[in-house]
Homo-oligomer: A and B are copies of this chain.
Amino acid sequence: MKRKAFFISDGTGITAETLGHSLLSQFESIEFEQVTLPYIDTNEKAEEVVRKLNNVVKTTGASPIIFDTIVNQNIRDIISKADGFKVDIFSTFLSPLEKELNIHSSYTVGKSHAGGDNEIYKARIDAVNYALDNDDGSKVKHFDQADVILVGVSRSGKTPTCLYMALQFGIKAANYPLTEEDLGSLMLPEVLKPYKSKLFGLTIDPERLSAIRNERKSNSRYASLNQCYYETEEVEFLYRQENISFLSTTDLSIEEISTRIMLDADLQRLT
C-alpha cells in the first residue's frame, strides 16, 4: 500500500509540491501516492479536503503526509483539524524570517507566481516566442538577440531545454541542429561563426540516442547505432576543436541540463 502525500495550497500549490516532492524523494524505499490540491480557497473546499484526509487513515491505515502553503488563516484553521502528519511550510519559516527582517509578512495568497509583475511575465513570454521562432531548422535566425545558442545532433535535447529556460528563467535560447554535413566537414556552419561565444553544445550517449530516434523513425539509417556513434563522436570532436562548452544530456533531467547551462554560460535568471 502506497503512503499518501498531499500538497495543499490556496494558490497554485507549486511551492508545496516542489518542496514536498524534494523531501519525499529522499525516502527511496517508500512509494508515495502524491496528490496536489491547489486553490483550496473557500471554507467549503477546505472542509472537503479535511474529509478526504480523514478518509485516508480509515482506508489505508496510515496518516497522510500533508505539505501545505496555505496563507488564509480561516483555511489554515480548518485544515489543521485533519488527521495527518503536517509539514506546515509557511508557519515554520515565516515567523523566524519576520524576526530577522523585523517586519510582519503580508501573508497574501499567490504572491510567488502572481501574474502581477508584468515585466517578468512579458520577458518570459518573449523568451518563449523567441525560442519557438529560433528553433531547430526554422527560417528565422535572430542569433544576435540570443542569450545562448544550443547546438547538437538531432534529438539530443535542444528544444525542450530551450523552452524550459525560456519559461522558467526568461532566457532567450536559440538552437541549431548540427547535421551530418556539418559534422563531415568538422567545421562550424557559417551562420554560427559570428556567435561562437554564445554556443553551448549538447551530446548524448549513442545507445540512448539510437533508442530515442528509433521511436520516431524505426529501423532508419538515422536511428541506427552506427550513425548515432558516428554523429556523437564527431560532434564531441567538433566541440573540443572549437573550444565549445558541452555536456551530455544522457542521465540528466531538463531542469538539470538547463541549470548547468545557466551556470556554465553565466546566464542571469529573472528575479
Contact = CB atoms under 8 A, between A and B. Distances in A.
A106 B28 contact: yes
B101 A160 contact: no
Interface in A241-263: 249-256, 259-260, 262-263
A82 B83 CA distance: 39
A193 interface: no
A171 interface: no
Contact of A111 (B19, B25, B65, B105): B25
Contacts of A254: 121, 124-125, 167
A78 B96 CA distance: 23
A20 B26 CA distance: 20
Interface string A204-232: 00000000000000000000000000000
A163 interface: yes
A159 B73 CA distance: 36
A15 B114 CA distance: 18
Contacts of A167: 160, 163-164, 167, 254
A107 interface: yes
How many of these chains are in the complex? 2
Interface residues of A, number: 78
A14 interface: yes
Interface stretch (A34-42, A53-61, A194-202): A34-42
Given A27-B103, A97-B65, A128 B22 contact: no
Interface of A: 3, 11-15, 18-19, 21-30, 32-34, 36, 38-39, 63, 65, 69, 71, 85, 87, 89-90, 92-94, 96-97, 100-101, 103, 105-108, 110-116, 121, 124-125, 128-129, 132, 135, 157, 159-160, 163-164, 167, 249-256, 259-260, 262-263, 269, 271
8 contacts: A23-B90, A36-B269, A38-B259, A39-B260, A39-B263, A114-B256, A115-B256, A121-B254
Query: Which 8 interchain pairs have the tightest Cβ spacing?
Result: A25-B111, A26-B105, A115-B253, A113-B255, A22-B112, A12-B259, A15-B22, A34-B271
